[in-house]
């Protein structure tokens, strides 16, 4: 069985949903039931569920707040992963740990490979890079999966924000000079459930991998696609205007290049991600349809 920490997050919920659909034994613990930085809680969870593999979907993901809330970011992104890795080492099981494009500074002109040195430019990125190091230093049998620009039907994310803003605004001004791959949490969950049995059988597959949807765009391109797909269903078609990072200052710096080269993952695990537009289109349609559905007790 697979034990997931961070069960209430975007990825945690998609893992739970997918495992249930595929009848894969899994238990997911929300933050309220287990703080990953609490070694007693983690040890108790492992003793209770006796997993064959652990997935860390927990993280402190508030990128701007992390600049001032360094202690919480450190707990969720550095201390916690270290505690989980230690517990996995003691139990003799592998762990899949999820990390981020924000460990890079974005100055590379081409997509980042796993061998590129990390150089975070935000507190969040530094805490995630430290978490990777904690996992590598504590547990040999692991996969660190770096992904980017995550969205899903659950939680807060850019896609849902665009749908919400499009309801009332005639103009959306969106950053057009940061490049990356919008990646659905569902597809990350698929990738994790695909690699899990392979990693369990073969410790030599351990290491760091990049996994995002295929193809690249900008936040502006991402927003434009969401609006284009939603418009025929909602009748709302705001103009999506490109702006620069300088026009939209945020507490945390973001890399201008968040593109990850995923060839190593594809070649090692034989799992090819879909083009980013496929999942963005599907999620947009699902969310708009759900919002428009008349509750059955009203009909
Ligand atoms: N979101 C993105 O755009 C993005 C991009 C690149 C990489 N990633 C990585 O992808 C992974 C999954 O992200 P996500 O989007 O699913 O994040 P998410 O929706 O923010 O979920 C993270 C979950 O972790 C929980 N959590 C935070 N601190 C914890 C702690 N100390 N102990 C236990 N649980 C804790 C949170 O609970 P509370 O809300 O109750 O605190 C939340 O339910 C993370 O490793 C993240 O760094 C995300």
| 209 included as an active-site residue | no
Q: What is the DSSP string of 68-87?
A: T-HHHHHIIIIIHHHHHHHH
Name the band, by pLDDT with cuts 50, 70 and 90, for residue 242: very high
pLDDT digits (tens, 9 = 90+) for 52-89: 999 999 999 999 999 999 999 999 999 999 999 999 99
238 lines ligand 1 (CB under 6 A): no
CA 16/CA 25 separation, integer angstroms:
10
**CA nearest ligand 1 atom 48, residue:** 150
pTM over 0.85: yes
> Going by DSSP bridges, is the β-strand pair 53-56/2-5 parallel, antiparallel, or unpaired?
parallel
State what percent of residues in the chain have pLDDT above 70: 98
Q: What is the pLDDT of residue 295?
A: 59
**CA nearest ligand 1 atom 19, residue:** 9
Name the band, by pLDDT with cuts 50, 70 and 90, for residue 296: very low
Beta bridge partners of 29: 5
155 lines ligand 1 (CB under 6 A): yes
pLDDT digits (tens, 9 = 90+) for 195-217: 999 999 999 999 999 999 999 99
Per the prediction, the chain carries an average pLDDT of 97
* Structure letter (DSSP) for residue 113: P
φ, ψ of residue 112 to 5 degrees: the values are -75, 135
């Amino acid at each position: 069985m697979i034990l997931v920490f961070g069960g209430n997050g975007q990825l945690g919920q998609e893992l739970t949903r997918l495992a249930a659909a595929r009848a894969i034994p899994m238990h997911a613990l929300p933050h309220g039931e287990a703080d990953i930085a609490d070694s007693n809680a983690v040890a108790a969870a492992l003793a209770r569920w006796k997993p064959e593999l652990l997935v860390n979907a927990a993280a402190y993901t508030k990128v701007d707040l992390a600049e001032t809330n360094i202690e919480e970011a450190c707990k969720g992104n550095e201390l916690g992963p270290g505690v989980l890795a230690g517990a996995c080492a003691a139990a003799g099981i592998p762990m899949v740990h999820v990390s981020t494009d924000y460990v890079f500074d974005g100055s590379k002109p081409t997509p980042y490979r796993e061998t590129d040195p990390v150089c975070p430019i935000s507190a969040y990125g530094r805490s995630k890079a430290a978490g990777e190091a904690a996992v590598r230093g504590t547990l040999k049998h692991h996969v660190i999966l770096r992904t980017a620009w995550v969205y899903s039907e659950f939680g807060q994310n850019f896609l849902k924000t665009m749908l919400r803003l499009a309801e009332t605004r005639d103009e959306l001004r969106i950053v057009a000079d940061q490049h990356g791959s919008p990646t659905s949490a569902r597809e990350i969950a698929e990738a994790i459930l695909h690699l899990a049995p392979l990693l369990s059988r073969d410790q030599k597959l351990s290491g760091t991998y990049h996994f995002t949807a295929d193809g690249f765009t900008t936040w502006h391109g991402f927003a434009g696609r969401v609006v284009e797909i939603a418009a025929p269903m909602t009748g709302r078609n705001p103009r999506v205007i490109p702006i620069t990072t300088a026009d939209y200052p945020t507490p945390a710096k973001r890399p201008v290049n968040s593109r990850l080269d995923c060839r190593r993952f594809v070649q090692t695990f034989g799992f090819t991600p879909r083009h980013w537009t496929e999942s963005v289109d599907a999620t947009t349609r699902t969310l708009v349809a759900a919002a428009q559905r008349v509750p059955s007790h009203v009909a």
